[in-house]
Structure 1
Amino acid sequence: MDAQLVAFTGVAAGMVAMPGADFTVVVRNALASRRAGVLCAFGIAAGLLVHTALAVAGVAAVLAAVPALFRALQVVGGCYVLYLGVRALRSAVRWETRPGAPGADPVAERRVGEEARAVAGGRGGGLREGFLTNALNPKASLTFLSVLPQFVPAGSPAMPRTLLLATIVVAFALLWFPAVALLVDRLGRWLREPRAARAIEGGTGAALTALGLALLAEPLFT
């Protein structure tokens, strides 16, 4: 048995399951609809494929060697995550106009909810959000670059082994994030209750805003 491969499997599972921007956008999209949540999960896996290609091509090494380029990409990624967070916070503040608000027209409320779900899931919005959230995070490329080589046995060809390890990470993402989306959708009846939905929307917005600000602030102190 390949002990290093077994060890990496545990590391990969922890890397994928660790709460962060990816997890947060999946939850937020899954609250809109199951389709949006699953599409977002696939978008994250597609983003990981980008980081895999970059690591194998050596671009990740360039990012590590050129701090200015890394910081520029970090700012772009931080701006996008911050945008998602602010949008979620604004959405939470406007929950009084959504389904379940006291005194609102039930027919109009239902229409608002249906339109929101259609926008989230019908135009590939979840797929795009998942892909951009992951692909615009340069730290993912550096993680691949720094972690994967530690599990390449001495004397073994680096590229086939690196591709295998990267495939394991992507496979975990394809299992974990759709499962999260389906679980959120399964609990959707409770999670979409006005108070719960507003709390989750506000919580995910706050988390994404904090992550975006952290990404933007880090270049200033490094």
Structure 2
Amino acid sequence: MAVTSVPALLAFAGLCLLLAITPGPDTFLVLRHSLSGARLGIAAAAGSGLASLVWAGAVAVGLAALLAAYPTALQILKIVGGLYLIYLGISGFLHRDRGAPVDDGAARKAESSTAAAFRDGVVSCLLNPKVGLFFLAVVPQFAPTGSSAATVTMVLGVIDGIVAFVWLLLVAVVAARAVRWLRRPKIARALSNLSSGALAVLGVATLSTRTTA
């Protein structure tokens, strides 16, 4: 039996796109790294897309359901995720001058390496329990009767990861080209402050939001 119908998959992809274009931690994280070059933004986007697939796998094996059943564990994950977002925001403020683009295209500082950007994308998404709960909520709606929930979850996870990556890739390329076109360090620093501040605010909001059973 087919995992699910093509129209259902397209509907799910559309839902993923709507969620992706809504500004969130991943968007601001990719934007912040993109200000130091498209390569770094793309690396962060790839990390986020991969982590989304990991969350799908966690749902498939029942981990997300376990977290949802134990609010305390879920709250701890949210606290860690919120603190990490605050750390990313503060780090962006501390390194904004070193991460600002320059006209001669000089090499970026070590702290803004591709590996670090990829790691930030992975960790930020993995510490966001909303991703796992999203899969947990939508899988039953897209799983045909008699199909394997684990298989459907992984298929949907691949779709979500691809959609998220493509959108964040677009954000990275547009942001990097816009900064390169402007070639104004003050503008770059202002955008860096904005994205870093947004990450910190999202982190505080995450910490202040209580998990309900």
Q: TM-score range by the shorter chain?
A: 0.7 to 0.9
Q: Provide the residue aligned with 2:52 in structure 1.
A: 48
Is the 2:49–2:165 Cα contact (8 Å) retained in structure 1? Answer: yes
Alignment of 1:197 with 2:188, yes or no, is yes
Is the 1:149–1:162 Cα contact (8 Å) retained in structure 2? Answer: no
Alignment of 1:138 with 2:129, yes or no, is yes
Query: Bigger radius of gyration, 1 or 2?
Result: 1
Is the 2:35–2:100 Cα contact (8 Å) retained in structure 1? Answer: no
Structure-2 change in CA distance of 1:88 and 1:141 (3 Å): same
Counting only pairs closer than 5 Å after superposition, residues 136-175 of structure 1 correspond to structure 2 as: 136-175=127-166
Deviation at 1:32, TM superposition (A): 0.8
Alignment of 1:23 with 2:27, yes or no, is yes
Q: How many residues align?
A: 209
Q: Secondary structure at the match of 2:113?
A: helix
Is the 1:78–1:212 Cα contact (8 Å) retained in structure 2? Answer: yes
User: Which runs of no fewer than 5 residues in structure 1 stay unpaired?
Assistant: 101-108
Counting only pairs closer than 5 Å after superposition, residues 203-222 of structure 1 correspond to structure 2 as: 203-219=194-210
Query: Distance between the aligned counterparts of 1:166 and 1:204, measured in 2?
Result: 27
Deviation at 1:26, TM superposition (A): 0.5
User: Which runs of no fewer than 5 residues in structure 2 stay unpaired?
Assistant: none
Q: Secondary structure at the match of 1:12?
A: helix
Which of the residues 98, 107, 120 maps onto 2:112?
Answer: 120
Indicate the larger mover: 130-139 or 81-90: 81-90
Query: Distance between the aligned counterparts of 2:20 and 2:83, measured in 1?
Result: 22
- So what's the TM-score if we normalise by structure 2? 0.87
Alpha-carbon RMSD across the aligned residues, in angstroms, is 2.6
Is the 1:31–1:191 Cα contact (8 Å) retained in structure 2? Answer: no
Which of the residues 60, 63, 71 maps onto 1:59?
Answer: 63
**CA distances 1:135-186 after superposition (whole Å, capped 9, x unpaired):** 1111111111112221112333322222211111011123121222112222
Query: Distance between the aligned counterparts of 2:183 and 2:31, measured in 1?
Result: 12
Which of the residues 109, 116, 120 maps onto 1:129?
Answer: 120
Q: Provide the residue aligned with 2:36 in structure 1.
A: 32
Q: Provide the residue aligned with 2:12 in structure 1.
A: 8
Q: Give, as a single letter, the amino acid of the residue that structure 2 aligns with 1:161.
A: V
Q: Provide the residue aligned with 2:168 in structure 1.
A: 177
**CA distances 1:49-99 after superposition (whole Å, capped 9, x unpaired):** 21011111110000100000000011100000011112223445xx5x887
Higher helix content, 1 or 2: 1
Is the 2:71–2:211 Cα contact (8 Å) retained in structure 1? Answer: no
Is the 2:179–2:188 Cα contact (8 Å) retained in structure 1? Answer: no
Query: Distance between the aligned counterparts of 1:128 and 1:5, measured in 2?
Result: 29
